[in-house]
Amino acid sequence: MNQLERLNIIDAVVGAMLEGGYAVSERCDVRPMCFDLIAKRDDGILVIKVLGNADALDEDAAQKMIRIAVSIKGAPIVVAGRTSTERLEDDAVYLRHNVPVVTFKTFRDYAIDDQCPIAYAGPGGLYAEVDSQRLRAMRESRNLSLSSLAGMLGVSRRTISMYESGMNMLVDVAAQLEEWFGEEFVRPMRVFEANFMAEALGESAARPPGNEEYAIPCTDAERYVIGELTEMGCDVIHVKRAPFDAIVQNEDADLNVLAGIGCAGESARKARILKSISDVTGVRPVVFAQEAHAKNISGSPLISFEELARVHTPEEMLELIIERS
C-alpha cells in the first residue's frame, strides 16, 4: 500500500466514524506517529492506526499505542488489509503485540452498525468465544448427551466437555451449532471497548509500563518539565511518537491534561493537532515552552518554563491552564 492509498483508507475510516456518530480528531500527520486518529462516541475512545500490512506494527509502536489508549481510557485499534503472508478475514480480530487488528469492513460495521466481530485468529484458523453455560443449557434442554452432540459434530466427547468448560471453538463449528440449535451462543469480540484488553489478555497486557520501565530518552526540556510536574505531585506518563509528550494527571485536583513540551516555534503544528485531540476526548491540552510570548498557541494554553517554576501545586496548574484556555 502506497501513501496515497493509505490516506484514502484513513479518509474512509473518518467517513465511517462520522456516519456512526463519532467525533474525530484531525489526522496526526506529524511524523513519526504511533497513531493516525483519535475518535470518541459517548464514553468510548478509539486510538486508531491505519496500515496496509499489519506486520508493520512493531512492538515499540504497539506499546506506545497501548500506553496512550489506556491513559485516556480508550482502546487501541489497527485497521489493515493483510499480513506479510495473507489477507485478513472480515469479521475477525487479529492481534499484533496485544493490539487488535481488523479489516476496514469490520471496522466500518462496528462504527456504523455497532456490529462487533465474532472470531479471532489463532493457531490453525479462526476461533469463536462461546457462552459455555448457554451451550450446556441448549444441549441439555434437547436431551442430548455429550456423546450424541459429539457424534453430530464428528468430534470426541471430551471435546464437547471442554467446550462446555470454556474452551473456544473453531468459528465454523460454532456456526454449525448455532444453526442446529437455532440460537446464538457466540460472544462478540468487544475489541472497540476500553476494557477488552484487560478482560481478554489480562491486566498486565492492558497496563502501560511506568516511565522507568519504558525508558524513553528525554530531552533537556522534557526532563525539566517532567521533573517540575512530578515534584508538585503530578503523575506524569512520558510518551513519544505522538503530538504530545506527556499525559499529566492528579486525581485529587481533577487534573488530566495532554502536554506538549518544546519551544513555541516548533510546537505550533503539534499544538493544533493536540487541540483537536483535546476537543474530541475532553482531555485538556497544554504546551510548555522555553519562552512564551502569548497565552496560547493554536488554541492550546501556553506556559513558559519560568511560569512553570512558579507553580507549586496541581490545583494551581489546573487554574493556570483553565485561565489560558
| Domain CATH code at residue 179 | 1.10.260.40
Q: Is residue 101 located within the same domain as residue 154?
A: no
pLDDT digits (tens, 9 = 90+) for 104-137: 999 999 999 999 999 999 888 999 998 999 999 9
C-alpha cell at 1: 500500500
What pLDDT is attached to residue 212?
Answer: 46
How much is the pLDDT for 228?
95
Q: State whether 139 and 178 are in the same domain.
A: yes
Looking at the fold, whether 18 and 99 belong to one and the same domain comes out as: yes
In this structure, are 219 and 315 located in the same domain?
Answer: yes
Last residue of a domain, one of 143, 175, 206: 206
Residue 147 has which C-alpha cell?
456423546
CATH of the domain at 31: 3.40.1350
Phi (first) and psi of residue 16, to 5 degrees: -65, -40
Q: Is residue 48 a contact partner of residue 60, using CB atoms and an 8 Å limit?
A: no
137 in the same domain as 282: no
Structural domain span for residue 235: 211-323
Count CB atoms within 10 A of the CB of residue 267.
22
On whether both 229 and 315 belong to a single domain, the answer is: yes
| Domain boundary pick from 206, 233, 266 | 206
Number of domains in the chain: 3
Q: What integer is the mean pLDDT of 149-171? A: 90
Q: Is the pTM of this model over 0.85?
A: yes
Grid coordinates in use for 38? 483519535
Question: CA-to-CA distance for 197 and 169, rounded, in angstroms?
Answer: 20
* From 5-19, 77-91, 196-210, the region with the lowest mean pLDDT: 196-210
CB 131 within 8 A of CB 188: no
pLDDT tens-place string over residues 201-239: 666 555 555 554 445 677 889 999 999 999 999 999 888
| Torsion angle (degrees, nearest 10) of CA 72, 263, 299, 22 | -30
Residue 149 has pLDDT above 70, yes or no: yes
**Grid coordinates belonging to 33:** 506517529
In one-letter notation, the amino acid at residue 146 is L
